[in-house]
């Protein structure tokens, strides 16, 4: 995953949702933008305060015009990183020394009020509150590239695993379906409806290894209802309430040669970039099965 920088603006909007730049280019690890608001966590609504566990007394919530920080959700952890003063030549920006940052970004969440804003939990690194930037101040966002790459590998690997299990068992396991997934480093797993016996572990591992080794391209597309119908996957059409802020089409991740998934997460460009993907175990509970995995 290479580092690149963008100063492009999001589409015009009469409201002020955060433009999710990472959904259009997951390689953006730096982005110059502007501050919309900065407030203490204690000033948030109760619903939004509940999004963050044990924030520090001096932590703030920062909202920006656009963001490259993936907020926790869809089974993917939150990005972390730093925020710096705006740069005069952002196109040549390398990773900056954190000691020069304005804020450390500890977490990001989507606003619980569903107004489309991404709330960044930030810790000021300035020695005085009077040095904090004001709304409309230009800033530079920098994502932790190592964590982003790990989360992207895990997310793509989860889709590879789901596709492998479907390929092997959809016609064998009664009432089979993919239910949900977690792509967190210590608890990565995919859950399926139906009982999958432990004897399938070897076959699932072999199919996952095949898909990873084939270096299948991972493509990002934006679909309307007619696209789901054309592809014969109308059953995958999400509720329109799940549209990303400012978008009128659903984001879809296509693993070429395997499957498509409605998905708002970040991914690597091809399945081989997942690295070695290991199926750890298969567990069953209440008629459902969970297949856990990790990437090496």
Overall average pLDDT of the 266-270 stretch? 97
Same-domain check for residues 134 and 154: no
Rounded mean pLDDT, 274-284: 98
Identify the residue whose tokens are 């597309």: 221
Average pLDDT score over the chain: 90
Domains of the chain: total = 2
How far is residue 212 from each of residues 26, 83, 264, measured CA to CA in Å? 20, 35, 21
Domain boundary residue, one of 143, 167, 191:
143
Residues 70 and 122 in one domain: yes
CA 57 vs. chain centroid, Å, equals 27
pLDDT at 108: 98
173 plus 244 within the same structural domain:
yes
Share of the chain above pLDDT 90, in %: 78
For range 109-129, the mean pLDDT: 87
The answer to whether residues 44 and 125 belong to one domain is yes
CATH number of the domain that 242 lies in? 3.30.980.10
Q: Which SS3 state, helix, strand or coil, does residue 18 take?
A: coil
Q: Residue 2: is its pLDDT beyond 60?
A: no
Per-residue pLDDT at 244? 78
Hey, CA dihedral for 95, 98, 103, 108, is it positive or negative? positive
Are 78 and 67 a contacting pair, CB within 8 Å?
no
**Residue 156 and residue 284 in one domain:** yes
Domain end among 111, 143, 175: 143
Model confidence over 20-72: pLDDT tens digits? Answer: 999 999 999 999 999 999 999 999 999 999 999 989 888 999 999 999 999 99
Whether residue 138 is found in the same domain as residue 162: no
Same domain, 77 and 163: no
- At 181-229, the pLDDT tens digits run 999 999 999 999 999 999 999 999 999 999 999 999 999 999 999 999 9
Q: Tell me: do 114 and 163 sit in the same domain.
A: no
Spatial distance between the Cα atoms of 1 and 152, rounded to a whole number of angstroms? 10
Q: What is the pLDDT of residues 58-114, one digit of tens each?
A: 899 999 999 999 999 999 999 999 999 998 665 556 788 888 899 999 999 999 987
Please check whether residues 286 and 261 belong to one and the same domain: yes
* pLDDT number for residue 7: 38
269 and 217 in a single domain? The answer is yes
Kindly state the DSSP code that residue 96 receives in the 8-state scheme: P
**Do residues 215 and 276 both lie within one domain?**
yes
pLDDT band at 247 (very low <50, low <70, confident <90, very high): confident
What are the tens digits of pLDDT across the range 144-193? Answer: 999 999 999 999 999 999 999 999 999 999 999 999 999 999 999 999 99
- The CATH number covering residue 73 comes to 2.40.30.130
Domain ranges, residue 270? 149-295
Both 171 and 259 in one domain: the answer is yes
């Amino acid at each position: 995953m290479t580092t690149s920088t963008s100063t492009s603006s999001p589409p015009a909007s009469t409201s002020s949702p955060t433009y999710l730049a990472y959904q259009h280019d997951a390689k953006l690890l730096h982005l110059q933008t502007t501050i919309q608001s900065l407030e203490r966590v204690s000033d948030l609504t109760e619903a939004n305060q509940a999004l963050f566990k044990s924030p520090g007394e001096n932590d703030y919530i920062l909202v920006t015009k656009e963001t490259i920080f993936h907020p926790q959700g869809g089974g993917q952890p939150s990005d972390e990183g730093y925020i710096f003063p705006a740069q005069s030549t952002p196109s040549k920006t390398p990773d900056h020394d954190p000691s020069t940052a304005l804020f450390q970004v500890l977490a990001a969440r989507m606003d619980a009020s569903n107004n489309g804003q991404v709330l960044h939990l930030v810790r000021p690194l300035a020695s005085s509150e009077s040095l904090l930037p004001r709304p409309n101040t230009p800033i530079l966002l920098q994502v932790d590239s190592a964590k982003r790459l790990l989360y992207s590998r895990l997310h793509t690997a989860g889709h590879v695993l789901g596709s492998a299990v479907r390929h092997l068992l959809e016609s064998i396991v009664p009432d089979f379906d993919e239910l949900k997934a977690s792509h967190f480093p210590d608890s990565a797993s995919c859950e399926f409806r139906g009982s999958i016996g432990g004897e399938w572990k070897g076959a699932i591992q072999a199919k996952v290894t095949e898909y990873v080794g084939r270096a299948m391209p991972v493509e990002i597309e934006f679909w309307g209802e007619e696209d789901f119908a054309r592809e014969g996957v109308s059953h995958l059409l999400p509720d329109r309430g799940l549209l990303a802020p400012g978008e009128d089409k659903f984001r879809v991740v296509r693993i070429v040669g395997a499957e498509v998934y409605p998905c708002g997460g970040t991914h690597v460009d091809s399945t081989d970039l997942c690295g070695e993907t290991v199926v750890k175990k298969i567990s069953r509970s209440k008629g459902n099965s969970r297949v856990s995995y990790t990437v090496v």
